[in-house]
Amino acid sequence: MTYWKDKVAVVTGASQGFGKVLAQQLIAQGCHVVLAARDEDKLSAAAAQLDADGKQTHCVPTDVTNDDDVVNLLAEVRQKYGKLDALFNIAGVSSRGLVCETSIDEFLCSYDLNVLSTVRCVQAARPLLEASRGHIVNMGSLASKSASKFIGPYATSKFALAGLNHQLRLELADAGIHVMLVCPGPIAREDAGTRYAQQTTNLPDSAAKPGAGVKVKAIDPQTLAATVLKGCEKRQTEIVMPGKARLLFAIAQLSGAWGDWVLRRFTSS
C-alpha cells in the first residue's frame, strides 16, 4: 500500500502542465484527486484522460483568483469526501518584460494568481487540513530565490510566495500541518522557447528562453512530481531542483554582487 492510498488531495492548475502530471501520479498511487482549473472543457478532458472511469477524480471548475470559487471548491471537497489530506497550489502564471515597461495591472495579475490564490486556498482548506494533519505544497521556482533579468512580475510574485510559505510553515506547525515550497528550474514542456515570443519582441533572445536564458537543464515533470510526493511523505520543508542552485543562493546571501556575477555567467545572451 502506498502512502497516498485512499487519501484526498486538491490540485489547482490540474488541467494541463505540471498540475496534470502531479494529479496523474497521485491517481496512480491510489489517491482521490479533486481537479481544479478555470477552463471547464480542459478540466473535463484531463479527467477523462487521467481517470477514465471517474472513480478517483472529481472536477471542480475553479478560478483561484475568485473568493467564491475557492470557497465552493473546498465546500465540495467537504461534502463529497469529508476530509482533505493535501492541498497542492500549482496554478500560476509566468511572463516576460522590463519592470519599467510593465503595467501595474500586469504586476497585480501575477501577484493575485501566484500569491493571493494560495492565501485563498489555504484559508479555505485549513480546517480540513488541521483535522488530517495534512500537507500544503506551494509551487515556487528558482526565481523564488534568485532571478534572471526580464521576469520582473514573475520573480516579484515568486519571492513573495517564498515569504508566504515561510509564514505558513511557522504559523501552522503547531496544528500539525506540513508546509512545503517547491522551487524548480524550467520544467520541460512542448512550447518551451516559443511561449513568450510575443512578450519579448523588443528584448534580447535570452528573454524568450526557458528561465529567461538561465543555463540549467529542463526538469522532467514526472521526476519532479515523484520528488514532490516523496517530499510530502518525508515532510520536507523545501525542494530545490536542480540542487546545485542552492550554491548560487548561498553566494547571493553572502554578497549580492557575487551572486549577480554567477547568475550572469550562467545566463545565455
Active-site position among 3, 81, 154, 196: 154
**Cβ burial, residue 227 (10 Å; 0-12/13-18/19+):** middle
Distance CA 59, CA 35 (A): 5
Residues 33-59 have pLDDT tens digits of: 999 999 999 999 999 999 989 999 999
Q: What is the pLDDT of residue 25?
A: 98
Q: What is the pLDDT of residue 199?
A: 61
Distance CA 258, CA 169 (A): 30
Distance CA 100, CA 106 (A): 12
32-37 vs 135-139, strand pairing mode: unpaired
Query: pTM of the full predicted structure?
Result: 0.90
Q: Where are the domains of the chain?
A: 8-265
Q: Which residues pair with 238 in a beta bridge?
A: 181
Cβ-based neighbours of 114, under 8 Å, separated by 6 or more: 92, 93, 154, 157, 158, 160, 161
**Cβ burial, residue 11 (10 Å; 0-12/13-18/19+):** buried
Give the count of beta carbons closer than 10 Å to the beta carbon of residue 244. Answer: 10
Kindly list the distances between the CA atom of residue 161 and the CA atoms of 5, 83, 132, 181, 192, in Å, as whole numbers in the listed order: 30, 26, 24, 9, 24
Distance CA 212, CA 206 (A): 5
- The verdict on whether 154 is a catalytic residue reads yes
Please name the residue that has the C-alpha cell 533572445.
Answer: 205
Kindly list the distances between the CA atom of residue 209 and the CA atoms of 17, 46, 60, 120, 204, in Å, as whole numbers in the listed order: 17, 27, 33, 32, 10
**At 12, phi and psi to the nearest 5?**
-85, 155
Q: What is the pLDDT of residue 30?
A: 97
Residues 118-144 have pLDDT tens digits of: 999 999 999 999 999 999 999 999 888
Distance CA 64, CA 68 (A): 9
| Blockwise average pLDDT, block size 10, the chain, 269 residues | 96 98 98 98 96 94 98 98 99 89 94 98 99 98 81 92 98 98 88 58 58 71 98 98 74 72 65
- Cis amide prior to 242 (ω within 30 degrees): yes
Cell of 77: 471537497
Give the domain 8-265 fold: Rossmann fold (3.40.50)
Complete edge-to-edge strand list for the sheet that includes strand 178-184: 57-61, 32-37, 8-12, 86-89, 135-139, 178-184, 238-241
